[in-house]
Structure 1
């Protein structure tokens, strides 16, 4: 019984240290910007629109987050299509 009582404070300290590391990690990741854009899916062959795609991007600055979101939308396009006329929908810190 005494061994269990002596182990309890050590176990509590280990669990507290583990949880504190897990809580600190998202706070460090919140130092950037998350952007969302909505782009028209254009067929390159005849420049006709075929619906919309959303792109999401993360970066340290607002401008780079917008660029990352547009690149994400373009990367989702199938062969023969591209993202065009992208509208900036949302940008949030973190």
Structure 2
């Protein structure tokens, strides 16, 4: 008999606004503000941001032994009817 993972109930019962978390908020706020400022200097920031889901998909596929390159993935997104590898699909 195998045991299946059961998610915990949401919202969590333990306190999330702990002293340790609250102490890290100013640094996180500064880092996000800096990122927002840098993104404003990029002519087309969507190009950079849209690559993040592709990179995550590539890494997830690698876990399943489906290996592809970033180049193949980017080409597959631009070439709608063009030839792509099976892994890039």
TM-score bin, normalised by smaller chain: under 0.3
Taking structure 2 as the reference length, the TM-score comes to: 0.27
Higher percent of residues as strand: 1
Higher percent of residues as helix: 2
- Higher RCO structure (Cα 8 Å, ≥6 apart): 1
Taking structure 1 as the reference length, the TM-score comes to: 0.26
